[in-house]
Amino acid sequence: MLSQDVSPAHQQLQKQEYRFRFTGSGGEYFSIWIVNLLLSIITLGIYSAWAKVRREQYFHRNTLLDDQPFDYTGDPVRILIGRIVALLVIGVGSAVQEVNLVMALAVTAVFFLLFPWVIVRSMRFRARNTRYRNLSFAFTGTTFEALKAYFWIYVALLPFIAASILMTPELKHIQENPELANAPDATNLMIKLGVALGVSVLLGALLFPAYQCHVRSFLHRHLRYGNAQGTFDGTASAFYGALFRTFGVSLLTVVLIGAVGFAAKLAEQPWLLVLAYPVLFLPQAAYTVNMTNVTYRHAGIGSNGFVSDMKVGAMAWLLFTNLLLLMVTLGLAWPWIKVRLARYRLAHMSLLMVPGTVDAIIGEAQNNPSAFGEEAAEFLDFDVSL
């Protein structure tokens, strides 16, 4: 939509705000969801790949920008292949873990090294099969770039991985001699591993905003629509700020719950504690809203930028009422919940764009046939997401 290759005169035009819209309904999606669920059960999960295509097509085709819908053209066979590969890797890893601890650690290490490769293949698949005005998106990221983006995961896990490797001989010895499982040495070994895991968790929490910044930068900068390349100028400090605001809301939640509890005790009216339930959703809502808003505040495509203006209070109320719907309907309201979330998020998201930009991009793409050829499907591209 959004080309960097427009004329200077066109660049000087005033950008307009184009709101996204979602036009689907819970009733429509329910008919798709229930059929997908039943057929997936009957086929022992095989139909789930086709179910995903139907679901994605429904949500894409009901997502409108400038009154024009998106589309999804994913091949269910590719999705099924991706899921089979994922299940095989998980199955082999679980089986090996039961047989040999050293091999289990090796399989886990290989899995973490392959993770960026899988992410790139999955993103290429999703981008290539997402279309707007009959022009596909593309994802240009490489495995090496993904490895750099997800590097923060490995940094956080380093203490636990190092401890596991150093203690492998002792762990193997205990595994081969079950009678030693309750010995003091075994207990000390478990304590050391627990400490290493705790350090990794703490390090992960401290590095999480930086990790989010690098990953979202990688995903947005390598998304392309026609000749318009994705952009991202967010910094780690912006994400630390978003997380800090979320932490502030969490503290406020504790204060509010304490105030409600104190009031209920003072008035000797335990039922007043019910008023605290909506408040419990504030931290989750704050995380979702703050991370989403800060991401799209710094993301763009071509010379055009995104805007996301979701509110914490509205999101918390949406999450709370969604839970009530699930409880009252014993889970049957799930399609309505998905639609409500999609409608809210898209209603608060827009694109700042120079009028006519999309037409310019489509025209450029039609006059440059080689641009289509370079995005030909690769055999190893697949989607492993559910």
300-359: per-residue pLDDT in tens? 998 899 999 999 999 999 999 999 999 999 999 999 999 999 999 999 999 998 888 777
Q: Of 25-29, 201-205, 282-286, which gets the smallest average pLDDT?
A: 201-205
**According to DSSP H, which parts of the chain are helical?**
8-11, 26-42, 48-61, 76-99, 101-128, 143-149, 151-166, 168-176, 184-221, 236-266, 282-297, 312-328, 334-347, 357-366, 370-373
| Per-residue pLDDT reduced to its tens digit, 78-103 | 888 878 877 777 777 667 666 666 66
Q: Which is more confident, 28 or 109?
A: 28
pLDDT of residue 191: 79
- 359 or 386, which is more confident? 359
For the chain, give the mean pLDDT. Answer: 83
CA distance 292 to 110: 31
- 233-252 mean pLDDT: 95
> Does pTM top 0.95 for this prediction?
no
pLDDT score, position 154: 79
Position 178 scores a pLDDT of 60
**Cβ neighbours around 240 below 10 Å, total:** 16
The DSSP call for residue 272 is G
pLDDT digits (tens, 9 = 90+) for 195-232: 877 888 888 888 899 999 999 999 999 999 988 999 99
Q: Residue 52 has what pLDDT?
A: 93
